[in-house]
Structure 1
Amino acid sequence: MHSDRFRPLVDTEGPFVSIYFDDSHDTQDAAAQLDARLRDVRKHLEEQSVDTAVIEAMDGAVRGTHPPVGRSGRAVIASGDTVVVDEHLIRPPTTTVIRVSELPYLIPIVEHGLLHTVYLLVAVDHTGADVTLHRAGRVSTQTVEGEGYPVHKAKSAEHEFGGAQPRVDEAIRKNIREVADRVTQLVDESGAALVFIEGEVSARTELVAALPERVAEKAVQLQGGGRTAGTDQAEVQHEIGQEFLTRRLATIDDAAQRFAAGRGTGLAVEGLADVTAALRDGAVDTLIIGDLGDATVVADTELATIAPDADTLSDLGAAPERTLRADEALPLLAVATGAALVRTDERLSPADGIGAVLRYAENSSAG
């Protein structure tokens, strides 16, 4: 997962409140269930003496966005009364996670979040399209109505050879081009990483063919859905979730292969000592996060120097001013240095629950 989306957290002062919960909208009482979860979250935050303004800001962020379709999780991270991160997750967490800490907690997003927070969903037919822009949990939809007419196929050979069919074909091409132009404009303006396309096979195929190559390579055709009333949006969202899951697994697989290949060559390290050393040097290309448990690291006041223990930090000429959870500090330091983040699965089990693929070979490991 690219870390650019978390960059605002690096420049934000704590303490932070990080919340992860199930906000699925797949039952008739989904709204009531959400209310109950938010009341529970509020209770826990009040017990931890979190300011009311922070609680209200987080509650308002959740209630103020379009509800998801089907199974979903939610990630909300706030600093003070400002919500810095607000994202939907492909899968809801098994239990609600609430942390009030010096640093934000990112791992559940790395594990269950969308690889790309900005994407388009295009429901297309031969008359136009409904184009929905998804941007970090915010949803906006617009309609493109093509001016080409008629778009219905000729129903007789007489019409077919009498000139009606070419007019129909040209009308369809005109409408598809209008949709392609608008989709291209939205991709360029929003930086969308993926374009999901639903609708009849012919309309989907024609739209992809009409897109410029830089946009067409981002297109993913969905088997379900369409522009007609009564479309099963839960099925569409399931397909989108499966596509993101497939891409996440491919990212883990790539990291696992690079990690295995880098062992013994200086291009991969594992364990708290060596990974913190690589992070200090800005050498980490991809941080591989496993089960860190309650492990801690120490840092100076500004988090400019970090080490697995106070002695190592002192040897580096820094005063051990802060003791931090490793599962919060290491991902945030990776974000600060532009490293990608990957949550491990059974293919990866680095020492101490942490590993890294490096940008370049390090000459020596931490002492």
Structure 2
Amino acid sequence: MNFENLRTVYDNQGPFATVYLEGRSPAADAEKQVRLRWDELRENLASAGAADEILKNLGDTLIVEDITEVQTDGRIVVANAAGVVLDEHWDAALGTGDTAHYGQVPELGAYVREGCRLVDMVLVIANQEGATIRELRVSPQHEATQQDESVVSGDNDEDIHAPRQGALSHNQIRRRADEIVKDNARAVADQVDQIVRAREPDLVVVAGEVQGRTAVKAELSTRVTELLEETDQGGTDDDAAEDALYDALKSLASDRVQAKQAEDSENLSYSKAHDLAVEGQEKVSQAVGRGAVATVLLNYDVGSEGEGAILADAVLSSAGFGLVDADVADGIAAILRYDAATALAD
């Protein structure tokens, strides 16, 4: 997941209140439940010193007409006295609970951790006439979020199915049918390439019927092919086919997240051996404040004290993020852009 959107959050003036409202099952009394949950969080924030303007901005965002959506999708909302600076669905695991934080920087550790477990995908459901293209954000644990969908088909209305009689006629029509399929696949590939250039997804997944998949794959650019995965599971024929398809996407997302975590752990080990990494809140804070950090690595599950300010400096210095299961001091480490001695020098 790309965290560039957070740059505009940190460009605002604090203090900030950060609210995480977990997603829960739909209920007839959703409005009552959300109001009660917000009342408790509001009281906690007020006790911590949050101004009335901040609390009003949060309340106006959470207590809305379509409040059932807030209940089922969850929310992360960050606000200061001027208004709401971040408002997104919060798809954390059920049982994570509601939390509220107040301070000079937003508390976005949980948001970043969840984002590191999300995989941006372009799903191409292909057939011989074209494809349905879905832009998705997929988690190994949660329902996929669809951000956009487009349908691409060729401009030719000719029948792609050749007759069975007449050898010469059959061969001619078969060649023409192959040309039409190729043209349709090329149109799909061009659209996918545009999306990849604009969105820079983690994966491009080709699904659908065999002939359609084969035709589309043959037309994809090198840039797209480097991101390519393929699945023969499911489809769009009915709900069962859709469920099978999205189960396959979750599996691909899980593989991607695990591979990225293994890569980050390996990079950390290598960097430590070459004096290109630091651990612990104090050293990471010092290094990131000087713009010396290439990647901040967070403990997979547990937040660390002071990480909110570290994440702010990391975003503003264009550092990346990752997760590690390794035992690191204070649950936080950093891979550096240059040697640790220089990064920590007084």
The amino acid that maps onto 2:17 is: F
Do the aligned partners of 2:26 and 2:68 also contact (CA within 8 Å) in 1? no
* 2:181 aligned residue: 172
* 1:142 aligned residue: 150
Q: Post-superposition shift, 1:361? A: 0.5
Structure 1 residues 104 and 222, CA, compared in 2 at 3 Å: closer, same or farther?
farther
Structure 1 residues 55 and 274, CA, compared in 2 at 3 Å: closer, same or farther?
same
Do the aligned partners of 1:107 and 1:343 also contact (CA within 8 Å) in 2? no
Residue in structure 1 matching 2:257, options 239, 248, 251: 248
Do the aligned partners of 2:296 and 2:321 also contact (CA within 8 Å) in 1? yes
* 2:314 aligned residue: 334
Q: Post-superposition shift, 1:190? A: 4.1
Q: Post-superposition shift, 1:184? A: 2.4
The answer on 1:225 being equivalent to 2:234 is yes
* 1:97 aligned residue: 98
The CA RMSD over aligned residues, in Å, is 3.6
* 1:19 aligned residue: 20
Distance 1:173 1:93 in 2: 46
Residue in structure 2 matching 1:352, options 326, 330, 341: 330
- Per-residue CA shift, 1:239-281, capped at 9, x if unaligned? 3233233222222212211221222532111122322221222
Q: Post-superposition shift, 1:63? A: 6.1
Q: Post-superposition shift, 1:46? A: 3.3
Structure 1 residues 153 and 42, CA, compared in 2 at 3 Å: closer, same or farther?
farther
* 2:292 aligned residue: 283
The amino acid that maps onto 1:150 is: D
Q: Which moved more, 1:234-243 or 1:328-337?
A: 234-243
Distance 1:114 1:33 in 2: 33
- Per-residue CA shift, 1:147-203, capped at 9, x if unaligned? 332123544584774522222212211222222222223333444443332211221
Distance 1:202 1:135 in 2: 27
Structure with greater helix percent: 2
Structure 1 residues 173 and 54, CA, compared in 2 at 3 Å: closer, same or farther?
same
- Per-residue CA shift, 1:20-48, capped at 9, x if unaligned? 5235xxxxx74659767644542333333
Do the aligned partners of 1:196 and 1:219 also contact (CA within 8 Å) in 2? yes
* 1:43 aligned residue: 39
The amino acid that maps onto 1:335 is: V
Distance 1:287 1:199 in 2: 38
Q: Post-superposition shift, 1:226? A: 2.5
Partner-residue secondary structure (3-state), 2:88: strand
Do the aligned partners of 1:255 and 1:357 also contact (CA within 8 Å) in 2? no
Residue in structure 1 matching 2:208, options 199, 209, 221: 199
* 1:363 aligned residue: 341
Q: How does 1:247-326 map to 2 (within 5 A)?
A: 247-290=256-299, 296=305, 326=306
Structure 1 residues 99 and 133, CA, compared in 2 at 3 Å: closer, same or farther?
same
Could you tell me the TM-score, scaled by structure 1's length?
A: 0.74
Structure 1 residues 279 and 153, CA, compared in 2 at 3 Å: closer, same or farther?
same
Distance 1:95 1:33 in 2: 21
Structure 1 residues 332 and 30, CA, compared in 2 at 3 Å: closer, same or farther?
same
| Long gaps (5+) in structure 2 | 47-53, 139-144
| Long gaps (5+) in structure 1 | 24-28, 297-325
* 1:120 aligned residue: 122
Matched residues, number:
326
Structure 1 residues 162 and 152, CA, compared in 2 at 3 Å: closer, same or farther?
closer
Distance 1:190 1:200 in 2: 26
Partner-residue secondary structure (3-state), 2:22: strand
Distance 2:194 2:248 in 1: 25
* 2:142 aligned residue: none
Do the aligned partners of 2:135 and 2:148 also contact (CA within 8 Å) in 1? yes
Distance 1:265 1:17 in 2: 38
Structure 1 residues 135 and 85, CA, compared in 2 at 3 Å: closer, same or farther?
farther
* 2:58 aligned residue: 54
Structure 1 residues 164 and 6, CA, compared in 2 at 3 Å: closer, same or farther?
same
Structure 1 residues 144 and 156, CA, compared in 2 at 3 Å: closer, same or farther?
same
Distance 1:60 1:281 in 2: 42
Partner-residue secondary structure (3-state), 2:133: strand
What percent identity do the matched residue pairs reach?
23
Distance 2:40 2:309 in 1: 23
Q: Which moved more, 1:284-293 or 1:266-275?
A: 284-293
Q: Post-superposition shift, 1:126? A: 0.9
Do the aligned partners of 1:285 and 1:358 also contact (CA within 8 Å) in 2? yes
Could you tell me the TM-score, scaled by structure 2's length?
A: 0.78
Structure 1 residues 256 and 92, CA, compared in 2 at 3 Å: closer, same or farther?
same
Distance 1:67 1:162 in 2: 59
Q: Post-superposition shift, 1:352? A: 2.0
The amino acid that maps onto 1:92 is: A
Partner-residue secondary structure (3-state), 2:20: strand
Distance 2:251 2:319 in 1: 25
Q: Post-superposition shift, 1:211? A: 1.8
Structure 1 residues 294 and 228, CA, compared in 2 at 3 Å: closer, same or farther?
closer
